[in-house]
Structure 1
Amino acid sequence: MNLNAEPAELKKFADVAHRWWDLDGEFKPLHDINPLRMEWMARHTALRGARILDIGCGGGILSESMAAEGAQVTGIDLADKALKVAGLHALQTGVAVDYRLVSAEQLAAEQPAHFDVVCCMEMLEHVPKPASIVEAAARLVRPGGWVFFSTINRNAKAFALAILGAEYLLRLLPKGTHEYAKFIRPSELAGWARAAGLEPVEFKGLEFGLLDRRFRLGSDVDVNYFLACRRLP
């Protein structure tokens, strides 16, 4: 089976895997937005006791936070080095997360309708076939369960802020982190979700304040945005 991943993308994250938990390193934005991601998901469904799958878990920032809230978390990724970092950090903190080197599509064939919640954050814009990930997420969640996505819109404003601003001017992210052509319009993501049997429930924007350099949830989905979906019965 052809993996839905590009070697260059996997290498990009493998090269900095040892810095996943450096609060002032390349992944600082993920640490900064993590409480907002948790807050937003918790508005829609209870995390404690839920069986949750984190697709594209990387070094485990979100996976660990959900497990610390009492969720039964499985984190999957195709970046082996990042998974090793995630596993080591979980051992250090004593948080139980089941990390697996497996694709979303393969796991969907093994464990359909197994999870109460599936999340895929900051990953869809890094894979060749994002619609395939959306379809796999829909197969992995039980009927009535929740699926959460986050990604970046594709427009001139997103190019200016997410690439020129974040990578070159503010240096929030390393240069080359994102490719504009891989950004995803909300209408496209909602269309893939509906085609996979998911009902889009809420879009939410992730906004960055230039003055205080802080992220916050808002209504502006022009750049970074979240989408909450439920699987239809």
Structure 2
Amino acid sequence: MAIQANFSDASASSVDASEVAKFSKLSEEWWDPRGKMAPLHKINPLRLTYIRDAACRKFDRNVRSLNCLSGLRMLDIGCGAGLLCEPFTRLGAQVIGIDPSATNIAAAKLHADKGHLSIDYRCTTVEEMDVRERFDIVLAMEVVEHVVDVGAFLDRCASMLKPGGVMVVSTLNRNWKSFALGIVAAEYVLRWLPRGTHQWDKFVTPDELAHHLSRNKLEITEQSGVVYNPLGDRWTLSSDMDVNYMVVAEEV
């Protein structure tokens, strides 16, 4: 949940300084499942399963194996304090987590050290990374709705993929339903998120996302909506992509 900057021209940066500052203030609460990041903790098991299963299908791995991602390089863009990085490291992946917030990276490193996990955390942006670095799996989870230039950001994300790699993206659709549920309900009525967490005009429709990915020779091979079940108090996959959704993209 973070923002990226253009590596060659600060004036054309896709980083939004106000967004970085917003999430930096929450850095001390990332690992508190009852704090301001509680919604992220609630949805995290679903995200983990979705990404793990997509990676195992792509690379022909046994999803039940405790080291099913062994030998795979994974880049988590906008990693926050490492809610995805840590479990994927435990599944054997070589994880690089990047975030432009120094406080988020500090929190991530501290928590990983406590768990005796070796994770390559970097306070940087995807645009500032070495263009020669490549990854089997690239994650952009709850990130694209916070950047200034979605197209430029996704171009750079795609360039980090190895041939035959897979990208997983999650974000929010842009329509009146997402405004009502993703902002009014989540931030003002239910108070799941701090007010101002999201800007509705930055939400990205599935068609827009598919367009940006196709420019980089990536095709969406899987897609699913993510909905909250109040009776079970959990998030589930759904055919309803009107609000939250996730996609898997691979080379055409």
**TM-score over 0.5 (shorter chain):** yes
User: 3-state SS of the aligned residue for 2:170?
Assistant: strand
For 1:229 and 1:117, the matched residues in 2 are separated by 10
RMSD across aligned positions (CA): 1.2
Count of matched residue positions in the alignment of Structure 1 and Structure 2: 230
Partner of 1:185: 205
SS in structure 2 opposite 1:215?
strand
Aligned residue type for 1:118? V
Q: Distance in 1 between matches of 2:14 and 2:176?
A: 27
Q: TM-score, normalised by structure 1?
A: 0.95
Report the secondary structure of 1:5's partner residue: coil
CA distance in structure 1 between the partners assigned to 2:175 and 2:231 by the alignment: 23
- Which residue does 1:44 correspond to in 2? 54
Query: Given the alignment, which residue of 109, 113, 119 partners 1:91?
Result: 113
**Structure 2 CA distance for aligned equivalents of residues 42 and 160 of structure 1:** 31
| Whole-angstrom CA distance in 1 between matches of 2:130 and 2:206 | 24
Q: TM-score, normalised by structure 2?
A: 0.88
Asked whether 1:103 is paired with 2:111, we answer no
1:102 deviates by 1.7
Q: Distance in 2 between matches of 1:141 and 1:40?
A: 19
Cross-structure match for 1:225: 245
The answer for the alignment partner of 1:198 in structure 2 is: 218
Q: CA deviation at 1:217?
A: 1.1
Q: Which residue of 2 aligns with 1:77?
A: 99
Higher mean C-alpha displacement, 167-176 vs 202-211: 202-211
For residue 69 of structure 1, what is the amino acid of its counterpart?
A: L
Aligned-residue sequence identity (percent) comes to 40
The aligned runs of 1:121-136 (5 Å cut-off) are 121-136=141-156
State how far apart, in whole Å, the 2-side matches of 1:71 and 1:157 are: 37
- Residue identity opposite 2:80 in structure 1: G
Which residues of structure 1 form unaligned runs of 5+?
none
160-169 or 29-38: bigger deviation: 29-38
Q: Aligned AA for 1:51?
A: R
One-letter identity of the residue aligned with 2:97: G
Q: Do residues 115 (structure 1) and 135 (structure 2) align?
A: yes
Give unpaired runs (5+ residues) of structure 2: 1-8, 57-68
Q: CA deviation at 1:105?
A: 1.7
